[in-house]
Amino acid sequence: MEAPSGHPTSLKDKDVKDLVFLTPAEDIAKVRLHNFVVIPTKYRNDKGEEVDGTRFGTFLCRKDPAMREESGNTCPLCDDIGHEAAEKNVAVAVELNATREGKRVLSLEIATRDYKDKDENEHSVPRWGLVIQGPKNFFRPLIAQEQMSGVPLPETAFTVGRIGGDEKTTYAFVAIHAPLPDLSDVIEQVPTLEDVLEEMGSLEKYERELAEVKPGSQKSKYNSGTTSDAASPSASSEFNQTEFEALAQEVGAHKGDVEQY
C-alpha cells in the first residue's frame, strides 16, 4: 500500500492501523491472485526526467472460478508469462483516524487523502484499500471477532496490529468501542469488492497492462506483500501510485484514493 506521502510501505512488525471493513464476513472472497507482477513503465525521476522503470501490478487470475466461463480456463499470466498465482482472501476496508486518551479511543473519523485533478482543483476522498491476506493468520481471527461479539464486521472498527516480520507473522485485532462515523458517503464513493475484482480480472486490464511484459520476466513466486520492501523497488511517488490509481479510475472511484494492505 502507499503511505500518505505516496511512497510504498506496508504493515511492518508492530505497525498498527485503525480500519472498518466494508465487506461483510460472508462476502469475503477467496480468489486466485497474481500479485506483484513486474510491469515495465515510464516514470519521472527526481530531476523530472522520464526514465524506464518497473512497477508492480495486481490481477485476478483468469483461471479463477469466477472467470473461467469468460476465459475458457486460460490465463496469459499463468500460461504465457509464467507468473504463479496464489489463493488469497480479499476484502475492502476504509482507514480511520482515532482520537485517543491514553489507550482509550474517544472518537473516530474517516481518514482522507487530498489530491488535485488535471485542472488543479483540490479534492478530499476516503482512504480505502483492498485487504489481500491469507485466511489462517488474518481473516479467521478477524471473523472470530464478529462471531464472539455478534456485531457484523461493517459495524465495528478495529485496531489491526502486525506481530512478526516473516512467514510466522500474525495479526492482532482489537475492537474499538467508539461510535463509527457516518459511512453513507463513503459507501457511495468506494466500489464494492465485486466491482474491484471484476476490473482486476478483466481482459481489458490484461491487454492494457501486460502488452510489454515478456515470458520469463517474472523471476520470483507470488509475493504476499507483507515485507517492508514488497510494494516496489523504487521510491518515486509517481512511479508507485500507478497500479491502484488506475484501478480506482476503472471502477469509478477517485484518483489516488485506493490502497493495498
148-196 tens-digit pLDDT: 999 999 999 999 999 887 778 889 999 999 999 999 999 999 999 999 9
CA distance 171 to 226: 11
**The pLDDT value given to residue 45:** 84
Please state the domain count of the chain: 1
**The pLDDT value given to residue 166:** 74
Model confidence, pTM? 0.79
**The pLDDT value given to residue 29:** 94
Residue 2 lies in a domain: no
Give the cell for residue 71: 476465459
Residue 6 lies in a domain: no
Residue 86 lies in a domain: yes
Query: For residue 23, which of 246, 224, 178, 196 has the smallest C-alpha distance?
Result: 196
**The pLDDT value given to residue 261:** 65
Task: Name the residue range of residue 129's domain.
Answer: 16-260
**The pLDDT value given to residue 111:** 93
Residue 207 lies in a domain: yes
> Residue ranges of the chain with pLDDT lower than 70?
1-11, 219-261
**The pLDDT value given to residue 243:** 42
**The pLDDT value given to residue 259:** 62
Residue 127 lies in a domain: yes
Ranges of beta strands (E only) in 185-260 are 258-260
